[in-house]
Amino acid sequence: MKRAGYLPTTSEVLLDIYEEDSEDALNRHSEKLAIAFALLKTPPRTPIQIVKNLRVCADCHSATKFISMAYNRDIVMRDRNRFHHFRNGDMLMQRFLVIG
C-alpha cells in the first residue's frame, strides 16, 4: 500500500516507540486484520462488513478508504457511534446510530 501512495497516520499511537514500531502497531489493528481476511476469503467485488465495539482511528479510516479504491470493494465499518461506508476510495456517508 505504501508504494501506491498510502501514508500511515502515526500521530495517534500513544506508545513512546520508534516510528517503524508505531507503523507496525497500526498494522495490527483489528479492522485492518478483518479486512485483510475478508479480501483473502471472499470473491472479488463482494461487499465487506466490519463491526467493532471501539471507535475507528484516523489511520484505519484512511487505510479503509485506500483499500476500497485499490480492491474495488464496498466496505462498511460499524463502530460504537456510526457506520462508515466506503466505495472507490470515497466515504459515502456516516449514518449515526440511534440508541433508544
Q: Give a yes or no: residue 85 inside a domain.
A: yes
Of 10, 21, 14, 8, residue with least CA distance to 63: 8
Q: Give a yes or no: residue 89 inside a domain.
A: yes
Look at the chain and report how many structural domains it folds into: 1
Q: Give a yes or no: residue 14 inside a domain.
A: yes
Q: Give a yes or no: residue 5 inside a domain.
A: no
Give the pLDDT confidence of 44-61 residue by residue, as tens digits. 999 999 998 888 888 888
Instruction: Estimate to the nearest angstrom the gap between the alpha carbon of 76 and the chain centroid.
Output: 9
Sorting pLDDT into bands at 50, 70 and 90, what band is 15? low
Q: Give a yes or no: residue 2 inside a domain.
A: no
Q: Which domain holds residue 85?
A: 10-96
Q: Give a yes or no: residue 4 inside a domain.
A: no
- Is residue 11 predicted with pLDDT exceeding 90? no
Q: Give a yes or no: residue 1 inside a domain.
A: no
- Where do runs of H (alpha helix) occur along 28-95? 30-41, 58-70
Sorting pLDDT into bands at 50, 70 and 90, what band is 41? very high
